[in-house]
Amino acid sequence: MKCIRSFIIGLLCGAFIFGGTAVLANSDVLAKITSQIFFWNNEAIELEAYNINGYNYVRLRDVAKIFGVNVEYYEDTNSVYLGEDKKEEAPKPENKVLDGNAYAKEDYSQSANQAIFNEIYTKDAYNAIRQSIVDITEITKNTDENGYNADYEYAHYIDKDFTFNSPGKTDEAMKSVLESFSGYYSFAFGYEPTITNLYEYPGYRICKPQVHKHFEPANKATDSFIAEISELSDKEKVKRIADYICDRVAYKDENAAGINRVFTEAPPVNAICGTYADAFVYLCQRAEIPCVSVVDDIHAWNEVYVDGKWHTTDISYYDVARTDTMLFPANYPRTDPNTAKTKFAKELLVPMSTK
C-alpha cells in the first residue's frame, strides 16, 4: 500500500514538474534526474523521473501521453488542464465589405478583341470570368459543395442595373455565356459568404468553376477514352470525339438524354441535337480543346477551336455521313442568332481568336 501511495503522491506532485532538467522541489532539496520503468498492458515503458528524498517523481505530461491525454499548464492562473487535445480552430475568414468597384488580378480584357465589348458585354464581366478560367485548376482543387473555394481571391464585377426585382442585362447575358461552355466543368455565378453588405450591390458576381459534381459516372466511363486520345493532335481528337459520340447516340426527336446516359448506357442512346452538342462540349473540355455550344429556336451545334481558328461543327449533322466535309462544313446552313454572345464566349476561352 505504501508503494502505491508513494506513486500516487509522486504522480500528483509531478504535475508541477514540466522542465527537462534537475529542479528544486522545495527550497532545500535538489531533485536528481533518474528513470522509472512502468508496465502498461505488459509492455515496459521507461520514463524520465526525478528522485527526491528517495521517491521517484515523473512528469504528469509524460504519463498522460501514454494514455493519450493532453496536458496544458496556464501560468497566468497557475492551473493545469487535463483532457483531449485542443484542436486548433481554423481562422475565420475576414469579412468583406464591397465598395462598388470591380476587381481582377489583371486587366485580361486588354488581351481580347476590343470589338466584343459594349454596354452589356462589359470588360469588367470579361475580367471576372476570364480570371476564373485562367485559374481553373487552382480554384477547383479545393471547392466546397457549392463550388466555392474559400482560399482563392475571386475576381468580380457588379451589374449596377441589377435589382432584386429586375435582372440586369449584363447579368442575363453572362449567364447565357457561361451556359455555352459548361460541360465537364460547370460555371456559375455567386458571391463570397463573407460579404457583409451584399444588399447594397445585388448585382455583385464572382465566377465559380467546378468539376461538374453530377457527371462522376460519365467521368469514370470516359477516362480511358480521354487517355487514349491524349497524344493526338487537336484535329484528330475532334474527329475521334465526334465518332465516339456518334457511336453511342442515335438521333431521335423529342428524346433528350443527359451526359451520364450518353456515356454509361448501352448504345444506341436516343437523343436530340442538344445532346450531341452538350456531349461534344463535355468531351472537348476533358481533352482541353476550346468549344462552345450555339443554339437557335430549333437546333443546337458547336464552334470548336482547332489549328488556330474556330470551326463550325454539327455532330448530329456529321452522324448522317462521317466525312471531314460533314465534320467541318464549309457552308453551314444555319445562322447563329446571337453572335455577340458567341464571340464573347470564344474570346473568354481563346483571347484574340475572333479578330
Tell me yes or no: is domain 216-349 CATH 3.10.620.
Answer: yes
What's the longest Cα–Cα distance across the chain? Answer: 103
Phi-psi region of 42 (alpha: psi -120 to 50; beta: other; left: phi over 0): left
Would the pLDDT of 15 be above 70?
no
Spatial neighbors of 265 by CB under 8 A, at least 6 apart, are none
Burial of 222 (0-12, 13-18, 19+ CB in 10 A): buried
The pLDDT score that the predictor gives to residue 216 is 96
Residue-wise burial string across 47-79, b where 16 or more C-beta atoms lie within 10 A, e elsewhere: bebbbbeeebbbbbbbbbeeeeeebeeeeeeee
CA-wise closest residue to 179 among 138, 135, 129:
129
Mean pLDDT value of segment 238-249: 98
Spatial neighbors of 140 by CB under 8 A, at least 6 apart, are 149, 185, 209, 210, 211
User: With DSSP H G I counted as helix, E B as strand and the rest as coil, what are the percentages for the chain, rounded to 5?
Assistant: 35, 20, 40
Mean pLDDT value of segment 192-218: 95
User: Using one digit for the tens of pLDDT, what is the confidence trace for 35-72?
Assistant: 777 777 767 677 787 778 778 788 888 888 877 788 88
Mean pLDDT value of segment 306-333: 94
The pLDDT score that the predictor gives to residue 150 is 94
Q: What is the pTM of this model?
A: 0.75
Can you read off the three cell numbers belonging to residue 28? 532545500
Would the pLDDT of 34 be above 70?
yes
The pLDDT score that the predictor gives to residue 1 is 40
Are the C-beta atoms of 220 and 293 separated by less than 8 Å? Answer: no
Question: Which secondary structure element, helix H or strand E, spans residue 146, and what is its range?
Answer: none
User: Using one digit for the tens of pLDDT, what is the confidence trace for 102-127?
Assistant: 999 999 999 999 999 999 999 999 99
Residues 153 and 106: their CA atoms lie apart, in Å, by 12
Can you read off the three cell numbers belonging to residue 114? 476590343
Beta bridge partners of 37: 46
Average predicted confidence (pLDDT) for the chain: 87
Side chain identity, residue 206: I
The pLDDT score that the predictor gives to residue 354 is 98
Percent over 90 (pLDDT), the chain:
68
The pLDDT score that the predictor gives to residue 90 is 57
The pLDDT score that the predictor gives to residue 343 is 98
Would the pLDDT of 222 be above 90?
yes
Axis crossing angle, helix 169-180 with helix 123-134, rounded to the nearest 10: 30
CA angle 181, 277, 180 (to 5 degrees): 20
Can you read off the three cell numbers belonging to residue 268? 444506341
- Segments making up each domain of the chain, as ranges: 2-83, 108-210, 216-349
More confident residue, 84 or 277: 277
